[in-house]
Amino acid sequence: MPGFEIIGPEERAEVEQVLQSGVFMRYGFDGARQGRWPSRELEAALAARLGLRHVHVCSSGTAAVFTALAACGVGAGDEVIVPPFTFVADIEAVLWLGAIPVFAEIDETLCLDPASVAAKITSRTKAVLVVHMCGSMARVDELAVLCCRKGLLLIEDVAQAVGAGFRGKPLGTFGKAGCFSFDYVKTITCGEGGAVVTGDAELHDLVQAFTDHGHDHKGKDRGADLHPIIGLNFRISELHAAVGLAQLRKLDSILETQRRHKGFLKDGLRDVPGVTFRRLPDPAGDSATFLSFFLPTESDARQKAAALAAAGVDGCFYWYDNNWHYHRRWQHFKDLASPAELAVKRGGWLKSLHNIQVPQSDALMGRTIGMLIKLSWTENDLNQRLERMRSVLSAG
Ligand SMILES: *Cc1c(COP(=O)(O)O)cnc(C)c1O
């Protein structure tokens, strides 16, 4: 998954140009910047490479999710259907906007189960926030149809699946908006960065204004801009965008390497008794950042995860116990612990998140091990890894 494995002269050259111009801000300073607009260039390059209509880059994936929700009109008292396997950023964004996270089940795709989503819809539901976890996709076509039928906004968190698609259509284009992250550990990195993508020109206009204090960016003089909406500062810097430009040019080779490495390990594990794999709605669209597999029981998975680590197979995650990605360890959310009282608490809409009931997800995640696919593995590393994995996973 991580583009940081291959930082090289390309990134340095891009950053050097920005340093030479001395213009680190994405707006204004037209004379000094010597014709270089890295953030704009990154937006155009992302749109071209990923087949997206309108792209706005911002300071982080968290900012992208917050901005997408806000610009789509998600606010105080609205219910947003979310998965229990995600990253904390999505829940943070929903809660700080005053909205209520409603947890639906995941299925063997490790993403939202459309049937469970349908069952969680109420008269207050405003949006479904689907998170394409660990490089691959949800049953996003079914979710899109459901949201369309019910008049709900579908927002995609594609932070972990840049370059992935479903039946030839890029993730991030199935709903109202898509959100990307280019933080340090993502498939391509800016150091810190993110993007909101949409096919809706009006929404794009709100998004770009929201991330810069509501500036309309209509004229040449920043000081004379109007502020049609209240926003925040979620701007990316030109230094970060410059890193992203070099990284994006490496995306195809990153995906190619990931798919090759993952394919080798997955093929080599197919005949191991008891091991089954995550369901991929479109295997060809997988970005292959992770290999996720199931064991027959929770105790098998716990035992094997520990044994893999002991055998030197690094990069394996037992997400069920993870405190960033799975709901069981989210004590601060359950307590609604925040420095200021949240709107959901003041409004009496949500007392706590102590009773998140997702038995299907718990049963599934308890049996799941995820393994990060690295770019830097050699042939020898791959052979050794497969041998060790086979030996640990086949042992009785
Ligand atoms: C990384 C991540 C984010 C947040 O991105 P940042 O750039 O780190 O703020 C959001 N959602 C998911 C699923 C992520 O993995």
* CATH number, position 286: 3.90.1150.10
Average pLDDT of span 248-257: 97
The confidence score (pLDDT) of residue 234 equals 98
Domain shared by 390 and 286, yes or no: yes
Report pTM.
0.97
Q: What is the dihedral of CA 117, 196, 168, 118, to 10 degrees?
A: 10
d(CA 133, CA 289): 10
Q: Is 194 in the pocket of ligand 1 (CB under 6 A)?
A: yes
If pLDDT is split at 50, 70 and 90, which confidence band does 1 have?
Answer: low
d(CA 233, CA 209): 10
Cα of 62 to ligand 1 centre, how many Å? 6
Residue range 105-153, pLDDT digits in tens? 999 999 999 999 999 999 999 999 999 999 999 999 999 999 999 999 9
Q: Is 157 in the pocket of ligand 1 (CB under 6 A)?
A: yes
Q: What are 103's strand-pairing partners? A: 82
- With a cut of 90, say whether residue 3 has pLDDT above it: no
The confidence score (pLDDT) of residue 28 equals 93
Each residue of 159-180: b (16+ CB within 10 Å) or e?
Answer: bbbbbbbbeeebbbbbbbbbbb
Domain shared by 298 and 321, yes or no: yes
Q: What is the dihedral of CA 115, 119, 125, 129, to 10 degrees?
A: -30
If pLDDT is split at 50, 70 and 90, which confidence band does 359 have?
Answer: very high
If pLDDT is split at 50, 70 and 90, which confidence band does 396 have?
Answer: confident
Average pLDDT of span 307-327: 96
The confidence score (pLDDT) of residue 219 equals 86
Domain shared by 116 and 215, yes or no: yes
Residue 67 belongs to domain with CATH number? 3.40.640.10
Q: What is the dihedral of CA 155, 161, 164, 169, to 10 degrees?
A: 10
Domain that holds residue 267: 252-394
Residue range 171-180, pLDDT digits in tens? 999 999 999 9
1 near 288, Cβ under 8 Å? no
Q: Is 90 in the pocket of ligand 1 (CB under 6 A)?
A: yes
Domain shared by 142 and 282, yes or no: no
d(CA 140, CA 156): 9
135 near 1, Cβ under 8 Å? yes
Q: What is the distance between the terminal CA atoms of the chain, rounded to a whole angstrom?
A: 31
How much is the mean pLDDT over the chain? 96
Domain-terminating residue out of 200, 222, 250: 250
20 near 239, Cβ under 8 Å? no
d(CA 145, CA 152): 10
Q: Is 131 in the pocket of ligand 1 (CB under 6 A)?
A: yes
Q: Whose CA is nearest to atom 5 of ligand 1?
A: 61
d(CA 21, CA 207): 27
Domain shared by 341 and 386, yes or no: yes
- With a cut of 80, say whether residue 2 has pLDDT above it: no
